[in-house]
């Protein structure tokens, strides 16, 4: 059906507003990239905006040589990979039973899950429990208390409920067990929601900050987020990096602004690189898992 003039104006206004909002999200990232790759004289003169002026990667070199960023990157990868694996396994194992209509007490356990979304023990009681279990200064203190997100569990449960009963009946007639039905049929059909929740858990683990400050005491176990935040806040450390670049064996020229931008990019870019590979599942997984059809 042909759009009316009023509809065309409405669509044009929507596109204009959405484009403007998209640019406001994109411009800070472009400015950060430009600052990390620009010549120090251009940065000091204030000419750098949304594109690099003068190619200079000394900020990244200073980060690698003057900080523990490689070690912190490895820690972030370990925290994210193990955390996502444990969380996804626990979410699947928990959400599948409460999605089964033959499971006695499914409504009761669902209410218990929703209850945890509204009420929690609090920060201090949680810390005391973690400490009593001997998990302080261990990555298990990061993985176990937040092993399952109640929101993600409900999304996956709803997705499982939307799988037609005819598939279940056909599997039972073929002699498929409960575990076999989950592994061979349910999980392959649930790739969109699995990819979506993997992204949710991955971003949460990669950007973990407060829990690491609370539970991790040794600086060599810090992840990228904490390391970069400490670096940005510590003017003395930034000045030390600048001075080390000026007096080292390999002459590098950096300013604090470029080092800050390079540190932020190291934290942000891995998640940006992963997102395009699962973007096609993202909208489908959220919509199908959020609203029961």
pTM, rounded to two decimals: 0.82
Q: May I ask the CATH class of domain 58-293?
A: mainly alpha
The answer to whether the beta carbons of residues 292 and 159 sit under 8 Å apart is no
Q: Residue 289: its pLDDT value, please? A: 46
**H helical segments located in 38-139:** 40-44, 58-66, 69-99, 106-118, 123-132
Question: Of 95, 69, 212, which is closest to residue 151 (Cα–Cα)?
Answer: 95
Which tokens belong to 131? 């400490």
Angle among Cα 265, 274, 28 to the nearest 5 degrees reads: 35
Bigger pLDDT: 14 or 164?
14
- Render pLDDT for 185-237 as a digit per residue (tens, 0 to 9): 888 888 888 988 998 999 999 999 999 999 999 888 999 999 888 887 776 66
Task: Please spell the DSSP secondary structure of 169-233, one letter per residue.
Answer: HHHHHTT--HHHHIIIIIHHHTHHHHHHHHHHHHHHHHT--HHHHHH---GGG--HHHHHHHHHH
Mean pLDDT over residues 103-113, rounded? 88
- In the chain, residues under CATH classification 1.10.3720.10 are 58-293
Q: Say if CB 65 and CB 248 are below 8 A apart.
A: yes
253, pLDDT greater than 70:
no
DSSP state, 145? Answer: T
CB 80 within 8 A of CB 212: no
């Amino acid at each position: 059906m042909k759009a009316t003039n009023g509809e065309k104006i409405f669509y044009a206004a929507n596109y204009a507003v959405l484009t403007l909002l998209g640019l406001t999200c994109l411009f800070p990232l472009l400015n950060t990239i430009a600052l990390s790759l620009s010549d120090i004289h251009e940065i000091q003169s204030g000419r750098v905006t949304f594109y690099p002026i003068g190619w200079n990667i000394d900020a990244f070199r200073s980060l690698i040589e003057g900080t523990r960023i490689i070690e912190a990157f490895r820690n972030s990868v370990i925290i994210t990979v193990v955390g996502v694996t444990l969380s996804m396994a626990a979410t699947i194992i928990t959400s599948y039973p409460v999605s089964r209509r033959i499971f006695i007490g499914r409504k009761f356990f669902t209410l218990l899950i929703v209850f945890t979304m509204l009420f929690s023990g609090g920060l201090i009681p949680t810390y005391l429990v973690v400490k009593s279990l001997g998990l302080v200064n261990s990555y298990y203190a990061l993985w176990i208390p937040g092993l399952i997100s109640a929101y993600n569990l409900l999304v996956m449960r709803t997705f499982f409920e939307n799988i037609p009963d005819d598939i279940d009946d056909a599997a039972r007639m073929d002699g498929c067990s409960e575990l076999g039905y989950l592994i061979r049929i349910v999980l392959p059909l649930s790739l969109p929601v699995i990819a979506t929740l993997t992204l949710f858990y991955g971003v949460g683990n990669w950007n973990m900050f407060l829990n690491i400050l609370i539970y991790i005491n040794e600086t060599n176990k810090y992840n990228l987020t904490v390391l970069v935040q400490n670096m940005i806040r510590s003017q003395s450390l930034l000045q030390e990096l600048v001075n080390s670049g000026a007096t080292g064996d390999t002459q590098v020229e950096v300013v604090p602004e470029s080092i800050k931008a390079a540190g932020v990019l190291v934290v942000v870019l891995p998640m940006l690189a992963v997102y395009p590979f699962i973007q096609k599942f993202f909208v489908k997984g959220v919509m199908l898992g959020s609203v029961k059809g």
